[in-house]
Structure formats: C-alpha cells, structure tokens
Structure 1
Amino acid sequence: MSSHPDTEMATALDVLAEPKRRYVLAALLDREGTSAGDATSVSASDPMSIAALATEVATIEYNCPIVTDDQCEEVHVSLVHNHVPRLIDSGVLCHPTSDDATRVALADHPLFALDWVQPLLADPTGETVPVDESTLNRTLTALRNPRSRAVCAALARRRGSVAVADLAAAVVAREGGDGTQLVDVTEAECRTVATALAHEHLPALSEAGLVAYDDLANGVELATDAPQWQVDWLADGPLGEAADLVRDAGDRQADTAETGTAIGESGTASTTPKMAGNGDGTDIRTDTCWTLQGRANVLDRGREIVDGADEELFVMVPTGEMIRPACLERWLAAADRGVDVYVASRSPRVRDTVRSAVPTATVCEPQFDWLTFPMEGERHGCVVFADRESAMLVTIDESGPGGEPRVGAITGDGRANALVSVVCDRLGPRLDRLTPIGDDRDGTPLPL
C-alpha cells in the first residue's frame, strides 16, 4: 500500500497531533508486543476492546499505573465519540468484524512505515525530548497544514526578519510547483496568502515557538534556537527541509567560531572573520574582511546580501554571462519590498534585461572602471552592496585550466568594516546623486 508523501504527512499529523490518538496507537502497539522500531509489521490480528483500551490510554494520560473509574469513563467516552471514529476514518484502525464496534485493532497503514512516526509512538508523551508535551502538541498541530511547513522552509532560507508580504510571495511560489518563480506571483495571490499567514499560520507557529512574529511590525523570522530543531524525528519528518537548512547554518557558525573557516556547498573553504572576547562578555572581529573561493560560496553570499537588504541595493554586473533568472527574481523581490535597487553595467544586454525584469530599478552605466576592475577582458569585477553595511567584490578569471572560470570574492559586514568603508567612500556619494528611474530609458550615467 503506497500513497503520495504529502498525503502520508497530512494523515500522520492529523492523527498524531491529538495526544489521545497517539496514546491509542502506542497502547495497541504495546499490546501486540510490536516495538516502535518494528512498527512496519503491525496487522489487525489482535483486537482490543475500547473499554480496555480506555484504561490503557488513561494510565498514559495521567501518568499513573492506577486510574480511577471516573478517569477511565471520561477517556472511554472521548474514544467512542471522537478519536476511534477519526482513526478508523483515517484507515489507521479497524474493527475486527463489521458487526463488532466494541473492539478495534491496528490496520495495515503506511503511517507505521514512516521512520519519524516510530520514535514518536515509542514516546507519545515526549518525555525523552527537550520540549514539554503541550509544546509538542502545539507544534504538531501547527504543522498539520502544509502551508505552515512551507512557511518554515521559506523562512529557513532567509536571514533575520522578513516582511509578511515577502514571505507570502515566497510561499505562493513554493506552492505553485517547480516551474513557478517569484516573477510569476501576482499581487492578488500575495494579498490572499498574506492574510491567511497573518491570521492563521503565523500565530499558530508563534504559539508553538517555531517563529518570532511581530504583528505590529508585520515581520517574522524563524526561531532557530527553538528546542524542536533538536528533536531528531521532528527534523526528519514534519520540519524536514527547514531543519536541514537550520542545521547547516548552525554547522557553518560552529566551524566559523572554532576555526575561522566555513565550507560552502561546493566543498571549497572560505576564510571568515574570527571572533575574540574583548573582556566585557561581548565579541569583536579580529579580521575585518574575509575571502570566498568557489562559485557556490560566492553565490550563497550574494543571495544573503541581496535578501538582507532593507533600504538600498547596488549591484554591478559587467557582462550578460553573470546575470541569471534567479538574480533577477531576488532583485525584483527586493524592489517589491521597498528597497531602492540600482544595477550598473556597461553591457546594453544587461541593462535591457534588468529594465524588463525589474521595472522600478535604477539602471546605470558606469563611465569608467571602478576599483581597477577591467570591465572588458579576461577578468571581470562584480560588486554587491546593500544598505551601506554589507559589501562583496567578486572576480572571475576565465583563464583557468580547462577553461573553467575561477571565482573568488572578498566580503565584509558592518559600517566600520574596512571593505564596506572603502565602498561607501567611493560609491555612496554617487548613489546619493541618483534619483529613482524616470522616463529616461537609455540608462542613467553613473560616474564610477
């Protein structure tokens, strides 16, 4: 018996978010002598009366081997009128015969084959995990809706607080499938999803402690310090993609703190600033800038800077080979959230492409080479500069062995950072003289 993974996840969370239903399945597994680690072998061979099952569930719920008749009766009523019918409708339980509604047994259902379900049913109250049961219940309840899971995955790709409208656009794109891009998302779709996020999904995720949601500021960010990320079966199951991203980010931070080296997805090391104590309990940078080697590392850093821009973003793109659809999507997303976007290039192709994809961007044509980067030749220079607080200078050497381009960069954060200060001195005054794009479609000269 097989089904779509999304359907399996939806069924599993609908069943397991309610603690009494977890207790029912755990009690029946224990009754059959089937360990959670061997839950794939369950069958409907050992029926149990609902009355006896109510007693087993009551002992789990009240955490006591001896329960009162009133406690058993209360649980029995809830099982008969609520939980057992729900479990039967879901196909997880069955009656041994069509004319016997007083007994139930485990059915042959794919839920029991899910790896992340097995440890949960082995510990249905969450005694062995670093969250209390009420938080566990709220977490499972919040994640029942696939949109809430999409929210966590989308936020895991962002740094810091994200505007709800921007988050809505990312969620719409994810829900649209692999072929849907941010540029395909309509304003009406964003408004509808943003309303649902603000009134339903974000409050539920916030109550579970998975996100920090400020409804007054209309911003939200992932709570990467939430204890749920340390629960292996949650990370392997409902939190899935988001947990992988959170763990990867944590590993990179740990590597940086210990060795000053971070490894990007290309496997190439990049030297990063080391941190040292200054005696008052805070940290200071001992290196003000760091270098990146490898296309993947440089791309990751560029995305981080662009996605983190709040007010102003400047990008210099020397050639058309350096611009990709994903770049245009991110620049458009920045412009849509109110960032002043400037794109400079001596390439007419680049300027025309940006004008078409990001209509509100100020498109610029540099008048001379900047920071000694040859704009034409074997080495190209690219600049990414956001909010006058984050900067990256990229070089691409196409004379490498086998014609494979060698990509490297130097980058820094903070207005006091040496690289950022240099870029501010050279570029900031020129940006101040530019006005948002008007009717001049020939490009605004940028005297770099």
Structure 2
Amino acid sequence: MSSPPDTETTTTALDILAEPQRRYLLATLLDREGSSAVVGSTASEPMSIAALATEVATVEHDCPIVTDDQCERVHVSLVHKHVPRLVDTGMLCEIAGEDATTVALTDHPILETEWVRTLLDDPTGDAFAVSEATLNRTLAALRNPRSRAVCAALARRRGAVPVADLAAAVVAREASDGTRLVDISEAECRTVTAALAHEHLPALSDAGLVAYDDIANGVELATDAPQWRVDWIAEGLLGEAADLVRAASERRASAGETGAAIEATATPSTAPEAGESGDETGVRTDTCWTLEGRTNVFDRGHEIADGAEDELFVMVPNAEMLRPACLERWQAAADRGVDVYVGSRSPRVRDTVRSAVPTATVCKPQFDWLNFPMEATYHGYVVFADRESAMLVTIDDSRPDGEPRIGAITGDGRANALVSVVCEQLGPRLDRLTPTGNARDGRPLPM
C-alpha cells in the first residue's frame, strides 16, 4: 500500500496547484530546469514575468498565438496574485534585472515530490480522463486535509455510510494517537458532521470523488471515478484510498470471472441487478452468499478483519476455530486503531486472545448471537466489521467420517439482511460489552 504523503506539504502543494495559472507557470519553468545561468542559486533558468505571461496565456487559451490583451490580463494576474504566493512559499525567487524582474524556481521539496512532478508534466490534464474543470475541482476539494481523511476513511467502507458514522471515523483518523471511537465525544462528532455536510462532502461530490445523498444523509466513495486511476493520485496523493479501491475492483472482477466455476463453494443469493435498489433509500443492497469449506470460510474472515476500520467483533466457539493467522489479523486491526471485541465461552480462547491481542475487549457471552441460551458446543463463529460486513459460520460435526463440515453465510452493506440481523442482535454499541458479560444499569447486554 502506498505511503501517505506529509500532510502539511501536501496541503501546501494542493493549494498551489489548484490554480491553473500557477500550474502553467511552474510547468513552464520546469522545462528550463537544470539550465540555470546562475549555478547553485536557482533550479531553473530565470525568465521575465512578461515572457512567462505570454507562455501561460498560450497554454490557457490552447493557442500558440495570443493577443496583447490576453497577455496583459495574465501578466497582471501573475504580478499581483500568483508570483507573490509562490515567492512566499519559497518555490520561486525574484531576480531584479536592468530591464524587468525575472523569476526562477528554487530547490523546493514540493517540486521534488513525485506526484507533483507527474501532475506538472501535464498541467492542463490532457491525459486526465475528465475535463480540466473537473481536475481543478478535484485539486480544490482535496487541498483540505479533512477531505483527504474522508476519502481514506470511505475507502475502507463498503456501501453508503451515515455521515455521523463517517464523522466519528474522521475524528479518530485525525487524532492519529490511537483514539478509539468510544473515546470520541458527541460534541466532537456533531461539529465534524456539520463541517462534512456543509463543506467537505459537497466539494468532494462536485469533483466526482464521492456519492453524497444529503437527503438520505449517506455517503460512499465513487469507486468508478476516473481519478482513482490517475498516476499522481494513485501513486502519491491518495495512494492508500486508491490502493483499496483497486483491490476492491480486483476482488469484484475475480469474483465475476470465477463465480460460475465455484458452484456450491460460493453460492450467491438472489439480489438486485447492478444499478437497482434493494431498499427504499436508493442505496444498493449487496447480496448474501454462502461459502463451503474451511479454507473459503477462513479466507473470508481474514478479508473482513483486514478491511475493518473502526470496529471488529468476533465470536469464537472454541479453540479449534482459533488460528494464529486470525490472531495476527486482529492484532493488526488493533494496531491501526480498530476497536477489537472477541467473545467466547472457552477460557482457553479468552486467555489466548488476551495474550495475543492485549488491547482487545474479551467477553464471556451469556447468550449466543440469537440470544438463546447456549447448549451446543458449536454455536457459530461470527465475524462483524464496521457494522457493514458480516459472516456467520456453522459447523456440522455429525458426519460419519468425523470430519466437521464448515459453511458460512456472508454479506456486505448496511442494508444487507445478514448485516442488519447481526446489528440488531449485538445492539447499537459494542463498547457496552464488558469482560464479565454482566448487565449494566439493570439491562441485559446484547450478548
């Protein structure tokens, strides 16, 4: 996965590059890079602002011949707006001459950033899959760090997310100090929710990066947006989000190619056709599907755990269902700030999890996931992430050969039937679970 760029440097770079004339100016000077007549003091050959104005005007009007009026308007804009801004950031230096003021690039770290250089190689976005106006809107929307945090948070979600839930995830991500969702105050969430709804989400939606329904109050990443396939976004600016979008696309493609061959191993249930709505809100309800076989079931469990961003709940019936790979993924989830909850009636399982994942909340459930008293040994293995991905495992050990038959049903999406059932049975707040499983305030816990 791509490493996230430095936040302050990225914000400054986007603020600079969101203005088209500044992109044209920098691209023009970069063409002169390395040919400086004043070796060691500038990174490009000095150029008069008047000459720069002519070059910028030709790019702006996409014409090799421009009028004096066009050049004059650009010249005024450069002198009074763009050159001072670039000088203030240290990317440009002014060199006083006998005839006119000239400028040259400096050895500024922003100009050495790979994604910036890639973008300035094509300042008008000719190779961009959308119009230059959309390019400008994309840069403007992303220059706020919170908007980038929104994209990164949504990349780990499947389907539409309520804005309030997204706000909590953004607050935790911005804290970058291990803050858990349960530690975030309602006041913080309300403030961020308002900022998202009135500022960041409309800008990201206008750029085509998210699909935001202000009436249903839901938002999801626009994974089909062409921006996610652009090099300077995918390899630098929003590498984390682009990596997750690409991985999700590859999984969908792989499922489409192999689904027919899997037959009984992974059987999809009846679901709406692509583009149809599965509920009244207009948000697509993903299908439920069944899995057969230990390998397929564990692979799906690992996928859900790896994709968790905020909460991960797992119920483990006994030690036979507890694998080292599971513990590693739960610890990895905890390391990236996910609140991990593990329930089991097995003392061995609870002790193992406490040792391997010390920050996890380990519970002894008094009821199974359907709130019936547990009697059977194998009551089911539940994996539940971010209230939008769920898997319920069943184990049949009545076969004559003694080999247990393992199967599962799984689904994604807030409106998915299985996800909704698990949400209802676990209750609205996983952080209410306690290590003893006792009631709190006289009310039984969801477990």
Q: Same fold (TM over 0.5)?
A: yes
Indicate if the aligned counterparts of 2:268 and 2:290 stay in contact, CA closer than 8 A: no
Indicate if the aligned counterparts of 2:291 and 2:409 stay in contact, CA closer than 8 A: yes
Aligned to 1:28: 29
Residue pairs, 1:365-376, within 5 angstroms: 366-370=372-376, 373-374=377-378
Aligned to 1:213: 212
How far did 1:304 drift?
A: 6.8
**Cα gap change, 1:409/1:82 in structure 2, threshold over 3 Å: closer, same or farther?**
farther
Supply the distance in 2 between the matched residues of 1:90 and 1:14 (Cα, whole angstroms): 11
Aligned residues between the structures: 381
How far did 1:242 drift?
A: 0.6
Aligned to 1:299: 302
Aligned to 1:37: none
Indicate if the aligned counterparts of 1:159 and 1:304 stay in contact, CA closer than 8 A: no
Aligned to 1:56: 55
How far did 1:5 drift?
A: 2.1
Aligned to 2:14: 13
**Cα gap change, 1:88/1:287 in structure 2, threshold over 3 Å: closer, same or farther?**
closer
How far did 1:128 drift?
A: 1.2
Residue pairs, 1:248-327, within 5 angstroms: 248-260=247-259, 272-273=266-267, 288-291=289-292, 292-293=295-296, 297-301=300-304, 316-318=315-317
Indicate if the aligned counterparts of 1:289 and 1:411 stay in contact, CA closer than 8 A: yes
Aligned to 2:122: 123
Residue pairs, 1:40-189, within 5 angstroms: 43-97=42-96, 102-189=101-188
Supply the distance in 2 between the matched residues of 1:362 and 1:29 (Cα, whole angstroms): 68
Indicate if the aligned counterparts of 1:256 and 1:273 stay in contact, CA closer than 8 A: no
Indicate if the aligned counterparts of 1:319 and 1:347 stay in contact, CA closer than 8 A: yes
Please list the CA deviations of residues 300-346 of structure 1 after superposition, one character each: whole Å capped at 9, or x if unmatched: 336879989xxxx99744369889686996689xxxxxxxxxx9754
Letter in 1 for 2:54: T
Of 408, 411, 416, the match for 2:409: 411
Supply the distance in 1 between the matched residues of 2:120 and 2:100 (Cα, whole angstroms): 24
How far did 1:158 drift?
A: 0.6
How far did 1:77 drift?
A: 0.3
CA RMSD of aligned residues (A): 5.0
Letter in 1 for 2:173: R
Supply the distance in 1 between the matched residues of 2:120 and 2:164 (Cα, whole angstroms): 38
**Cα gap change, 1:116/1:134 in structure 2, threshold over 3 Å: closer, same or farther?**
same
% identical aligned pairs: 56
**Cα gap change, 1:410/1:249 in structure 2, threshold over 3 Å: closer, same or farther?**
same
Which has the larger displacement, 147-156 or 186-195?
Answer: 186-195
Residue pairs, 1:236-247, within 5 angstroms: 236-247=235-246
Aligned to 2:392: 392
Which has the larger displacement, 215-224 or 4-13?
Answer: 4-13
Indicate if the aligned counterparts of 1:316 and 1:345 stay in contact, CA closer than 8 A: yes
Please list the CA deviations of residues 55-76 of structure 1 after superposition, one character each: whole Å capped at 9, or x if unmatched: 0000000000000000000000
Please list the CA deviations of residues 275-305 of structure 1 after superposition, one character each: whole Å capped at 9, or x if unmatched: 99x99999xx999522454756413336879
Supply the distance in 1 between the matched residues of 2:302 and 2:69 (Cα, whole angstroms): 63
**Cα gap change, 1:184/1:28 in structure 2, threshold over 3 Å: closer, same or farther?**
same
How far did 1:236 drift?
A: 1.4
Aligned to 2:436: none
Indicate if the aligned counterparts of 1:42 and 1:107 stay in contact, CA closer than 8 A: yes
**Which protein has greater RCO, CA pairs closer than 8 Å, 6+ apart?**
2
Supply the distance in 1 between the matched residues of 2:318 and 2:116 (Cα, whole angstroms): 51
Supply the distance in 2 between the matched residues of 1:109 and 1:100 (Cα, whole angstroms): 27
Aligned to 1:266: none
Which structure 1 residue ranges, 5 or more long, are not aligned?
Answer: 35-40, 263-269, 333-342, 376-380, 398-405
Normalising by the residue count of structure 1, what TM-score does the alignment of the two structures yield? 0.69
